[in-house]
């Protein structure tokens, strides 16, 4: 398959170019496009043949449901069977934006889109290209992150090219995404609203507008083999680069720095190429590659997946990552770091 790359202005999307991409969606084909979180791989959410193409291109397990993207808040009333009061509050406060809400689904959604579940994940993205594409296509667009299954989510067009070139019809290049990690996912079909995946909309922010919000704890690996977790995506190894990621948690000056220095020399002695992801500027580790990914959460999130991919391009065997505080947006960043890690040192 030929993948056509179309460059579109993210501030003022050219209508004629959006139209080309929208026609492709209407024809039941696939289009990768930027959102404010990461790039998504989109297709007509109501067309099962089209949705199948997403699973095929990504190599995504068919029991992992997709998020449906809309451009008009009113659409939830046709896609969801019931819109609870809590949803209206969340929509009012956070849409358009990086928050996905799980509802009971209506009849019009094909089984494949929700992987056979009776629930549906919906979000209205805050990105002009995404919104104009959905509006122009005149239909809800199902879109998982536009990476090969298991790889880190793409935050720029090049990442999509690296993973999916030749497997999708169109890639809209709209520059780098603002946030850099995927949306927060909250389940409103549970007794108490439950955060399944943390993201830019934080648990602290959610608790300001809803009475009670629980945080879903991913069951451990042994248990996962036996059950279907709440958010099916959580059972798969996610966001992981080819290199082994080792996350080092704790107080930076007291322990983390010393532990990382030790690990560098240990792995170097074993003949491994070691990269370090640091959140401390001018912190020189003596390893093969050191990448300062920022000290503010918003910058760290923007650089995280990009840095994983950068280390892979440089054939790094071991990535040593400094942990950060798990408060506010830091909680979501640590969630992605932990998921990518093959080892966590405390
Ligand atoms: O920011 C984002 O959410 C990006 C952009 C493209 O919008 N999309 C994204 O999609 O990250 P994906 O497919 O990579 O992650 C969706 C997550 C998966 O963990 C999936 O299992 C979960 O949402 N999910 C989807 N539908 C669900 C449902 N009905 N119930 C529970 N979890 C669901
Ligand atoms: Mg994904």
Ligand nearest to the Cα of 332, by number: 1
The rounded percent of the chain whose pLDDT value lies above 90 is: 92
Q: 97 in helix, strand or coil?
A: coil
Residue 10, ligand 1, Cβ within 6 A: no
Cα angle at 151 between 79 and 221, to 5 degrees?
Answer: 85
**Residue 122 in this model has a pLDDT that exceeds 90:** yes
Q: Please enumerate in sequence order all residues whose Cβ is within 8 A of that of 289, keeping only pairs 6 or more positions apart, or say none.
A: 273, 274, 275, 276, 311, 314, 316
Task: Give the pLDDT of residue 218.
Answer: 76
Nearest CA owner, ligand 1 atom 31: 231
Q: Taking a C-beta distance cutoff of 8 angstroms, is the pair 275, 288 a contact?
A: yes
Residue 182, ligand 1, Cβ within 6 A: yes
Distance 143 CA to ligand 1 centre (A): 8
Location of structure tokens 């080892």 = 343
pTM for this model (two decimals)? 0.95
Pick from 134, 119, 129, 125: which is nearest to 94 by CA? 125
Q: What is the mean pLDDT of the chain?
A: 95
For helices 330-340 and 297-313, the axis angle rounded to 10 degrees is 20
Q: Taking a C-beta distance cutoff of 8 angstroms, is the pair 44, 25 a contact?
A: yes
> Would you place residue 237 in the very low, low, confident or very high pLDDT band (cuts 50, 70, 90)?
low
> Would you place residue 140 in the very low, low, confident or very high pLDDT band (cuts 50, 70, 90)?
very high
Residue 335, ligand 1, Cβ within 6 A: no
198-212: pLDDT as tens digits: 999 999 999 999 999
């Amino acid at each position: 398959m030929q993948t056509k790359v179309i460059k579109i202005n993210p501030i003022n999307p050219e209508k004629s170019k959006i139209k080309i991409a929208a026609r492709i969606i209407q024809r039941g084909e696939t289009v990768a496009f930027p959102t404010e979180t990461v790039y998504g791989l989109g297709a007509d959410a109501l067309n099962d043949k089209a949705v199948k193409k997403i699973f095929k291109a990504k190599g995504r397990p068919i029991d992992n449901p997709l998020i449906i993207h809309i451009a008009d808040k009113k659409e939830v009333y046709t896609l969801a069977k019931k819109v609870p009061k809590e949803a209206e509050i969340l929509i009012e406060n956070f849409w358009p934006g990086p928050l996905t809400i799980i509802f009971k689904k209506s009849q019009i959604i094909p089984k494949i889109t929700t992987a056979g579940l009776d629930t549906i994940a919906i979000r209205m993205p805050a990105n002009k290209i995404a919104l104009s594409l959905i509006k122009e296509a005149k239909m809800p667009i199902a879109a998982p992150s536009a990476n090969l299954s298991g790889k880190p989510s793409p935050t720029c067009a090049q990442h999509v090219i690296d993973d999916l070139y030749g497997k999708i019809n169109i890639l809209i290049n709209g520059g780098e995404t603002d946030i850099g990690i995927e949306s927060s996912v909250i389940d409103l079909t549970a007794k108490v609203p439950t955060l399944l995946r943390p993201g830019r909309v934080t648990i602290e922010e959610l608790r300001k507008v809803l009475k009670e919000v629980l945080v879903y704890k991913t069951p451990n690996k042994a248990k996962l083999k036996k059950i279907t977790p709440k958010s099916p995506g959580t059972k798969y190894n996610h966001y992981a680069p080819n290199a082994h990621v080792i996350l080092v948690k704790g107080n930076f000056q007291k322990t983390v720095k010393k532990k990382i220095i030790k690990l560098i020399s240990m792995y170097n002695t074993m003949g491994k190429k070691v990269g370090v992801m640091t959140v401390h500027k001018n912190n020189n580790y003596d390893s093969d590659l050191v990448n300062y990914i920022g000290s503010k959460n918003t910058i760290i999130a923007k650089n995280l997946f990009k840095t994983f991919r950068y280390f892979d391009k440089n054939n790094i065997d071991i990535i040593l990552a400094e942990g950060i505080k798990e408060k506010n947006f830091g909680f979501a960043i640590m969630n992605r770091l932990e998921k990518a890690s093959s080892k966590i040192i405390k």
